[in-house]
């Protein structure tokens, strides 16, 4: 596995792994080859948890070993095979990466348990784009996802290279609703790009995007990943949901003619 070479070439990681218990999520070689961003110690640390967990023991959230201990999230989806019982009847995901080979147990020289799981994608951290070293290719650093900061400083997340979200940000700011994108806890935010708002009815009447519409782009209490969406029947109450106005969000994965999945 290519990740083993990254660990071996590092000065600190081998020592830590020889003395501590860990859960390690190891991407396949194909997954690492597909990942175009820098591969260094920090990326490995984002795939390490400092307690050994079998897949059936994992809590819903895991603190990684990356500086600041940013979390990754565990999703469990039924396999759909009624012949399989218990924990094995689930597919497990870490963020958007699927565990394809689980529960490899090892013990280091001190007898401390370590558990390894193989995943089919790199667990992608949020990387600050500003301040990247173009000579070495090393990014300025990993950062904690922050919806409010993304709205106000999209260039920090590299969004301005591909998308613009200024229209939505302007409307949120004008309505004094920026705090909505800074609510505590586990939440999912849907932020439309300018192109989505560039339709005749919205161009002529910006007031159609009111407080309820803004709230309808937020799912409180859930961290949703596109790959773990099963079907459009799964509905989530949005922040706009009230007794009088029942606003749900649902998602569905579909394949385009070019065979690329979209949500």
Question: pLDDT tens digit string along 43-88?
Answer: 888 999 999 999 999 999 999 988 888 899 999 998 878 788 888 8
Question: pLDDT tens digit string along 188-219?
Answer: 999 999 988 888 877 667 778 899 999 999 99
Q: Is residue 131 part of a domain?
A: no
**Do 197 and 92 lie in a common domain?**
no
Q: Is residue 83 part of a domain?
A: yes
Q: Report d(CA 224, CA 21) in Å as an integer.
A: 29
Q: What's the pLDDT score for residue 83?
A: 80
Q: Is residue 128 part of a domain?
A: no
- DSSP H/E element including 114: strand 113-119
Give the count of domains, the chain: 2
Asked if residue 251 lies in contact with residue 235, where contact means CB atoms within 8 angstroms, the answer is no
Q: Is residue 54 part of a domain?
A: yes
Per DSSP, the three-state class of 236 is strand
Give the closest residue to 73 by CA, choosing from 16, 145, 150: 145
187: which residues sit within 8 A by CB, 6+ positions away?
147, 218, 219, 220, 221, 222, 223
Residue with tokens 């706009």: 240
Q: Report d(CA 142, CA 162) in Å as an integer.
A: 20
Domain at 191, CATH number: 2.30.180.10
Residues spanned by the domain of 189: 145-262
Give the closest residue to 94 by CA, choosing from 53, 130, 135: 53
Q: Is residue 137 part of a domain?
A: no
Query: Pairing mode, if any, of strands 141-142 and 187-189?
Result: unpaired
Residues of the chain with pLDDT under 50: 132-139, 259
């Amino acid at each position: 596995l290519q990740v083993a070479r990254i660990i071996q070439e590092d000065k600190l990681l081998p020592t830590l792994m020889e003395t501590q218990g860990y859960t390690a999520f190891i991407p396949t070689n194909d997954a690492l080859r597909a990942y175009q961003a820098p591969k260094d110690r920090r990326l490995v640390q984002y795939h390490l948890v400092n307690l050994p967990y079998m897949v059936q023991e994992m809590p819903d959230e895991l603190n990684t070993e990356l500086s600041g201990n940013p979390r990754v999230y565990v999703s469990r989806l039924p396999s759909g095979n009624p012949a399989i019982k218990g924990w094995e009847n689930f597919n497990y995901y870490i963020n958007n990466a699927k565990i394809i080979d689980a529960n490899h147990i090892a013990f280091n020289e001190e007898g401390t348990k370590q558990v390894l799981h193989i995943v089919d994608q790199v667990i992608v951290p949020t990387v600050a784009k500003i301040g990247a070293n173009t000579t070495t290719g090393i990014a300025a650093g990993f950062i904690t996802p922050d919806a409010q900061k993304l709205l106000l400083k999209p260039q920090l997340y590299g969004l301005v290279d591909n998308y613009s979200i200024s229209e939505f940000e302007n409307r949120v700011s004008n309505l004094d609703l920026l705090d909505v994108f800074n609510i505590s806890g586990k939440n999912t935010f849907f932020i439309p790009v300018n192109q989505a708002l560039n339709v005749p009815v919205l161009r002529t009447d910006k007031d159609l995007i009111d407080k309820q519409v803004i709230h309808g782009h937020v799912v409180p209490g859930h961290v949703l990943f596109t790959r773990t969406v099963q079907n459009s029947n799964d509905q989530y109450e949005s922040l706009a949901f009230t007794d009088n106005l029942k606003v749900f969000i649902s998602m569905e994965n579909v394949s385009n003619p070019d065979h690329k999945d979209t949500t």
